[in-house]
Amino acid sequence: MADALLLHPADTVEIVTATDHGQGIGQGHKRARRMMEAGDPVIKFGQIIGTATQTVSLGEHVHVHNCSFSDHDRSYPVGIDYAHAEAAMPSPRARSFLGYRRGAGPAGTRNYIALCATVNCSATVIRQAAQELQAEAALAPYPNVDGICALAHGTGCGMSASGHSAEILERVLWGHASHPNVGAAVFVGLGCEVMQLARMKARFGENFAGRFHGLTIQETGGTRASIDRIKAHIKEILPQVNALRRQHCPVSDLRVGLQCGGSDGLSGITANPALGIASDLIVAEGGGVILSETPEIYGAEALLLRRSQPDVAERLIACLNWWEDYAAQGGGSMDNNPSPGNKEGGITTILEKSLGAVAKAGSTPLRAFYPYGEAVISPGLSFMDTPGYDPVSATGQIAGGAQLIVFTTGRGSAFGSKPAPTLKLATSDRLLMQMPDDMDLGCGDIISTGVSLQDKGEEIFEMVLAVASGQSTKSELLGLGDNEFVPWQTGAVM
């Protein structure tokens, strides 16, 4: 039999770490440790991940053909581990990073100029302005400016002017324009849309002057005139944005978004728990980490609720109930996730995927719950309600102030983000070799050479500080990030 890993003494499956060609069981997939009858629980990580749908023999492949989603225990022991999690936090080390300090707020890890479309109608204008400035090498004399990010999207009109969807878009646009990684921002509207520029000014008026500028295409004289006006404004402010210099800033300034995408059967064994250790190290320094992707904690929420305060637990439980209703309204269920790629990589049910995904959050107390895109001001571990779809989820985290995203992947991802860079972790040696230009760090050596989770977590922590200090990520070098700005649309399109 091929090499395999037992994760918990109670598990009824073990994880194949090198492909079992004789049985046709791929790396990261599950193999039965004992015989199971139909209806028996399938246990991994010491937790139920599903139910056997037929007799399963010892050594047999356990996957979608003989294991299905089942309901999970909802008798939540809220706060039972809170004091232990508080006491077990790592000691701080007084570490720092080289960031951009802007006034009294948290320091930035990048120095961008943001062009923010208030509506899809102004998307081409901001993209064209950014492309022309790049073609003209307008930023070449300004080495302290990381670039121009054109934040275009597909909404802003044909929607209600109030309610959940409008509030989300408003928060996302302002969160990106006022982001610590943004030195100046230009809002560009058409002029007649629902998400009016005047509305943004009315809400954020006292903070609108200085770093922010706005125009509408209709008032400026059309498409070409607006492109030229944007370009002229950017050329005028470039020296001012470039004048800022990096300086030593405490890790307590950092808010790091935690993401996983294209997960596989090794995600919950290598990259995710190693990132969890790095998360604990960030929290120990007074920084913050943001766990999101609400559908991808479903079934594993008890692991978070055990170390949360009652008020935070209440909000998280209500949020999960909302998601069950939301999925049902669309004719789906929470087990519509995992994706086909997740299943090919060895993940069978959402319960299994969630147990691995929650590992990114480490072991510190859950301090706060935030709606999508709301500013994350709390230190420590926070949860932000977002979809599991990576671009939408990361957009919300960045709107909330995340200056950096750490993204684990097992199948491979071509994801990047702006104005906050994305650092990508590969779960296996295979993926690191297969997509070397996309992966910043491999975690497969946890299995292949026995690197400890603690050592890998330390390595991730050091890389987070290096990227926060200006080291380019692979996604930045590839130019990714402009098309991954995707605000969450929840309301009716009218």
User: How far apart are the C-alpha atoms of 174 and 107, rounded to whole Å?
Assistant: 17
Task: State the DSSP code for 344.
Answer: H
| Residue-level pLDDT at 210 | 66
Secondary structure of 187-211 in the HEC alphabet?
A: EEECCCCCCCHHHHHHHHHHHCCCC
Find the CATH number of the domain harbouring 31: 2.30.130.110
Pair 405, 474: CB distance under 8 Å: no
Tokens of 197: 């520029």
| Residue-level pLDDT at 206 | 57
Pair 324, 42: CB distance under 8 Å: no
Low-confidence ranges of the chain (pLDDT < 70): 1-2, 205-210
331 and 255 in one domain? Answer: yes
301 and 222 in one domain? Answer: no
283 and 158 in one domain? Answer: no
- Which of 242, 264, 297 is at the close of a domain? 242
Burial of residue 470 (number of CB atoms within 10 Å: 0-12, 13-18, 19+): middle
The reply to whether 302 falls in a domain is yes
270 and 189 in one domain? Answer: no
The reply to whether 146 falls in a domain is yes
| Residue-level pLDDT at 176 | 97
- Which of 218, 242, 266 is at the close of a domain? 242
Indicate the pTM of the whole model.
Answer: 0.96
258 and 186 in one domain? Answer: no
The reply to whether 145 falls in a domain is yes
464 and 374 in one domain? Answer: yes
214 and 139 in one domain? Answer: yes
- Which of 242, 267, 288 is at the close of a domain? 242
Radius of gyration of the chain (CA): 23
The reply to whether 77 falls in a domain is no
Find the CATH number of the domain harbouring 226: 3.40.1400
The reply to whether 106 falls in a domain is no
270 and 222 in one domain? Answer: no
Cα–Cα distances (Å) from 58 to 4, 50, 162, 395, 421, in that order, read 14, 17, 57, 45, 46
Cα–Cα distances (Å) from 168 to 14, 195, 216, 266, 303, in that order, read 42, 11, 21, 34, 28
The reply to whether 394 falls in a domain is yes
296 and 181 in one domain? Answer: no
Q: How many domains does the chain have?
A: 3
* Cross-strand bridge partners of residue 99: 247
End-to-end, the C-alpha distance of the chain in Å comes to 58
Domain span at residue 32 reads 4-68
pLDDT digit string (tens) for 15-71? 999 877 778 899 999 999 999 999 999 999 999 999 999 999 999 999 999 999 887
**Sheet of strand 67-68: strand arrangement:** 41-44, 47-52, 67-68
Torsions phi, psi for 425 (to 5 deg): -115, 125
192 and 153 in one domain? Answer: yes
426 and 300 in one domain? Answer: yes
Cα–Cα distances (Å) from 440 to 97, 327, 402, 422, 436, in that order, read 19, 34, 19, 9, 8
Pair 403, 255: CB distance under 8 Å: yes
The reply to whether 289 falls in a domain is yes
The reply to whether 102 falls in a domain is no
pLDDT digit string (tens) for 251-277? 999 999 999 999 999 999 999 999 999
294 and 328 in one domain? Answer: yes
Please name the residue that has the structure tokens 């790396």: 27
| Residue-level pLDDT at 1 | 41
